[in-house]
Amino acid sequence: MAAWDLSVAVEDLGADAPPITVSVTSDLHIGGVILKLVEKSQVKRDWSDHALWWEQKQQWLLRTAWTLEKCGIQADAGLIFMPQHKPLRLGLPNGLNLRLRVCFSGTVFRTVLGICKMLNIRRPEELSLLRPVEEKKRKKVRDLSEELYDLTEVPLTSVSRPCLYNGMPAHFADSPKTEKVYKMLSVSQPAPAPEAIAKLYHPASVVDKAHIHSRWLDSSRSLMEQGVQENDRLWLRFKYYCFHDLEPKYDAVRLTQMYEQARWAILLEDIDCTEEEMLLFGAIQYHINKLSLSEPQTMTSSPAMDDLDSALQCLEVKLDGANSSPQDMLENLTAPELNDYLKIFRPKRLTLKGYKQYWFKFKDASISYYKSKEESLGEPIQQINLKGCEAAPDVNVAGQKFCIKLLIPAPEGMNEVYLRCENEEQYSSWMAACRLASKGKSLADSSFQSEVQSIRSFLAMQQTNPNTHTDDSMSINTHSLVSPRYSKKYKTKQLTPRILEAYQNVAQLSLTDALLRFLQIWQALPDFGISLVVVRFKGSRKDEVLGITPNRLIRIDLGVGEVVKTWRYNNMRQWNVNWDIRQVAIEFDGNVNIAFSCVTADCKIVHEFIGGYIFMSTRSREQSDTLNEELFHKLTGGHEAL
């Protein structure tokens, strides 16, 4: 066979270096070409990650046993010899950017597996990559902060089984720099400035939301094949909204990033919620922020250590208890109390009376009041049981007004009572006591002190006047906890007490529980998990919206936003894509057939969404940890997979 010259550019030699020319025959296999190439380059190094990329055809030549003839390569082919793993700038769900080395030659599905392994995110099939929304301005500002986090130095080979070292995967524990990256991944980010939220892109309409989904990369092709270049920016996001087997113990990063994605979806009004829900989301964010700041070490201490510690602590306590005298034990049985002069006002009775001062005693879950301290040994004027009551703040810090508004249930209805405290100190303790009592807990409850603390910090927040900026890192602008719509609607003075109110219901949660609660409420929103695509149904003249969710397809009227029809996957017989006319056809039980062409996204994306959700639903049943990649591609690949 005749030998001919094949020239190949070697990327590592630099863009200006001339291509290396090797003499080949058509029956030489690709591996042979590479061997010759390496010999001729005379560079001694590890070439194992390198492969040939065929520029004109935009494809990799990864089958080293194939001959040049079989690949259809002739002398005019523009080949580049380059590494398969290259750095990529990855936008994480938390809004930060991370530079890391990813695979450019395998399918995107594979690439995501690799990324998730590196980042220690389980269930990588739920995530995918998409092209970011272009940001035109402020680009330079961004670039500065972007390079903060870099994992490109981490050797790929070291990323294997996630064995924990110091509470983090071993490959993060190598240097302080990577440890910092892990912390960024596994601890939620502080609240953004309200101005920053307002500046970020947020979809204004259903069509805007639909456009986001046109950006997903094709899971069955490689990054290079989809035109992604070294150091390009891509976003990593949870794509399929069915989170399988969430286990806080192993899922520190996954849980945190999920929370971040949910939080941003809410702050940017990507998903709608009611005012009450927004305030609760705000309260949980506040709580999470606070906990993340105050206990950054939780992530690194292992659960076993915690158990041991608490067991030891328990032991100590009990031993103490054993040594204490019976007298003490008896005393422990009697609950602590609060005693003080407060003013009371009951709007229902003769209204003009106003506040009147009495000596108040708070014990167990009830308040009693007496004419004066001296009479407090006798019968109280009245005793009010607070169990089941609602305790709301009526506070104006600037005006030094510290009132507690109590709605106390009684057989005849709710009794309204106002207690007026003199100062913050008094207010904090009494309010905390009322709050605990409303849940049936007494002052002896261990949460009392933390309750007092949180009330104080909220009071402090109200003092933070926007004009006089205080640089207290713990104080958070409540406007950064809600979406711009509510920021505009309410002043800080109005917003803060309402968030505080919602906060009462979540203040006891641990960090993990708070994250989970946030996700739960997010998932309970009616619009949760719906990915929108603008489509045109066969036989219809107008564009409509197709909502794709974990268990069903929804047809939505574009004009009104009303759900017209839903089809559940478990009634689905089959679905086909006609790749020539780019039409998706689906058949459901009972001879229901629908067909549509996709307007805002490629039909491959729709196809992949449907197949992907069906793939996700097969997971729960098999229970095994191994990922059936083949099945995924079968369900999502389309004609290319065959």
Partner 1 sequence: MTHCRHFGLNTCYMDDIDAMFSDLLGEMDLLTQSLGVETLPPEPPSSSSKEMNFSMGFADMNVESLNELEENDLDALMADLMADLNDTEEKLGGQKEAEAPHTDLPPASHGFSFYPESSLSTPTSPERGPNTFSAPLADSPAPILSPPTLPQHAKLSMEEIEAQMKADKIKLALEKLKEAKVKKLVVKVVMHDGSSKTLMVDERQTVRDVLDNLFEKTHCDCNVDWSLSETNPELQLERGFEEHENLVDPLSAWTRDSENKVLFQERPDKYEVFKNPQNFYLWKKDKKTIKDMKDRDKELLVEENFCGTSIIVPDLEGVLYLREDGKKSWKQRLFLLRASGIYYVPKGKSKTSRDLVCFVQFDNVNVYYGKEFKNKYKAPTDFCFVLKHPQIQKESQYIKYLCCDDAWTMNLWVTGIRIAKYGKSLYENYKTSMKKAAITTAWTNRTAGTTSIPSTPSPTTKAKASGQANGHAPQPPAEPVAKVGNAPPPPPPMLPTQILPPPPPDPVLPPPPPPLANKKSPPATSVPRQLPSLPTSFPPSPTSMANLPPPPPSLSQDDSSESPPDFLPPPPPTLGFGPGAGSLPPPPPVSFLPPPPPDPGFPLPPPPPDPAFCPVTNRDSLPAPPPRQSNIGAGAPPPPPPPPSASAGLQSTPSVRRTGPPPPKRTTPPLAAPGGGDFMSELAKAMAKKRGNQ
347 in contact with partner 1 (CB under 8 A): no
Q: What is the enclosing helix (H) or strand (E) of 619?
A: helix 603-622
Which among 121-129, 314-322, 393-401, 460-468 is the span making contact with partner 1, rule CB under 8 A? 314-322
Residues numbered 194 to 223 that lie near partner 1 (CB under 8 A) are none
Annotate each residue in 72-91 with x if it binds partner 1 (CB under 8 A) or - if it does not, as one string.
--------------------
Whether 189 and 94 have beta carbons less than 8 Å apart is answered as: yes
Whether 476 and 466 have beta carbons less than 8 Å apart is answered as: no
Annotate each residue in 555-574 with x if it binds partner 1 (CB under 8 A) or - if it does not, as one string.
------x----x---xx---
CB atoms within 10 A of CB 431: 27
The correct pick among 31, 72, 190, 388 for binding partner 1 (CB under 8 A) is: 388
The correct pick among 307, 331, 375, 422 for binding partner 1 (CB under 8 A) is: 307
Round to whole Å and give the CA distance between 376 and 339: 10
The correct pick among 65, 163, 322, 350 for binding partner 1 (CB under 8 A) is: 322
Could you report how far apart the first and last alpha carbons of the chain are, in Å? Answer: 34
270 in contact with partner 1 (CB under 8 A): no
Which among 13-21, 84-92, 517-525, 574-582 is the span making contact with partner 1, rule CB under 8 A? 517-525
Q: Count residues near partner 1 (CB under 8 A).
A: 55
Which among 313-321, 422-430, 474-482, 601-609 is the span making contact with partner 1, rule CB under 8 A? 313-321
Whether 48 and 85 have beta carbons less than 8 Å apart is answered as: no
Annotate each residue in 519-548 with x if it binds partner 1 (CB under 8 A) or - if it does not, as one string.
xxxxxxxxx---------------------
Minimal distance, residue 485 CB to partner 1, in Å: 7
Give strand ranges (E) for 325-377: 337-345, 356-363, 366-370
The correct pick among 21, 175, 229, 302 for binding partner 1 (CB under 8 A) is: 302
Minimal distance, residue 68 CB to partner 1, in Å: 53
Q: Which two tokens stand for residue 2?
A: 């005749």
Minimal distance, residue 284 CB to partner 1, in Å: 13
Minimal distance, residue 387 CB to partner 1, in Å: 9
Secondary structure class of 634 (helix, strand, coil): helix
Which DSSP category does 56 fall into? T
Nearest CA to 240 among 637, 631, 633, 617?
617
DSSP 83-150: ESEEEEEEE-TTS-EEEEEEESSSBHHHHHHHHHHHHT-S-GGGEEEEPPPP--TTHHHHHHHHTTEE
Kindly tell me which of 39 and 247 has the beta carbon lying closer to partner 1. 247
Whether 498 and 519 have beta carbons less than 8 Å apart is answered as: no
Which among 189-197, 231-239, 267-275, 629-637 is the span making contact with partner 1, rule CB under 8 A? 267-275
Kindly tell me which of 138 and 349 has the beta carbon lying closer to partner 1. 349
Round to whole Å and give the CA distance between 495 and 487: 8
The correct pick among 185, 262, 273, 530 for binding partner 1 (CB under 8 A) is: 273
301 in contact with partner 1 (CB under 8 A): no
Kindly tell me which of 100 and 252 has the beta carbon lying closer to partner 1. 252
CA 14 vs. chain centroid, Å, equals 40
Which among 210-218, 270-278, 393-401, 530-538 is the span making contact with partner 1, rule CB under 8 A? 270-278
Minimal distance, residue 431 CB to partner 1, in Å: 18
Annotate each residue in 21-60 with x if it binds partner 1 (CB under 8 A) or - if it does not, as one string.
----------------------------------------
The correct pick among 204, 333, 377, 642 for binding partner 1 (CB under 8 A) is: 333
The correct pick among 243, 358, 370, 430 for binding partner 1 (CB under 8 A) is: 243
Whether 450 and 507 have beta carbons less than 8 Å apart is answered as: yes
304 in contact with partner 1 (CB under 8 A): yes
Nearest CA to 492 among 519, 473, 472, 465?
465
Which among 40-48, 65-73, 260-268, 512-520 is the span making contact with partner 1, rule CB under 8 A? 512-520
CA 596 vs. chain centroid, Å, equals 32
DSSP 262-305: HHHHHHTTSS---HHHHHHHHHHHHHHHHHHHH-GGGGTS-HHH
Secondary structure class of 580 (helix, strand, coil): coil
Q: At 129, give phi and psi (nearest 5°).
A: -110, 145
Q: Which residues have CB under 8 Å from 332's CB, separation 6+? A: none
Minimal distance, residue 198 CB to partner 1, in Å: 16
Round to whole Å and give the CA distance between 112 and 128: 6
Which among 77-85, 178-186, 318-326, 599-607 is the span making contact with partner 1, rule CB under 8 A? 318-326
The correct pick among 196, 319, 381, 474 for binding partner 1 (CB under 8 A) is: 319
CA 2 vs. chain centroid, Å, equals 60
Residues that bind partner 1 (CB under 8 A): 242-243, 246, 272-277, 280, 302-305, 307-308, 310-312, 314-315, 318-319, 321-322, 326, 329-330, 333, 388, 390, 409-414, 485, 505, 516, 519-527, 551, 561, 566, 570-571, 590
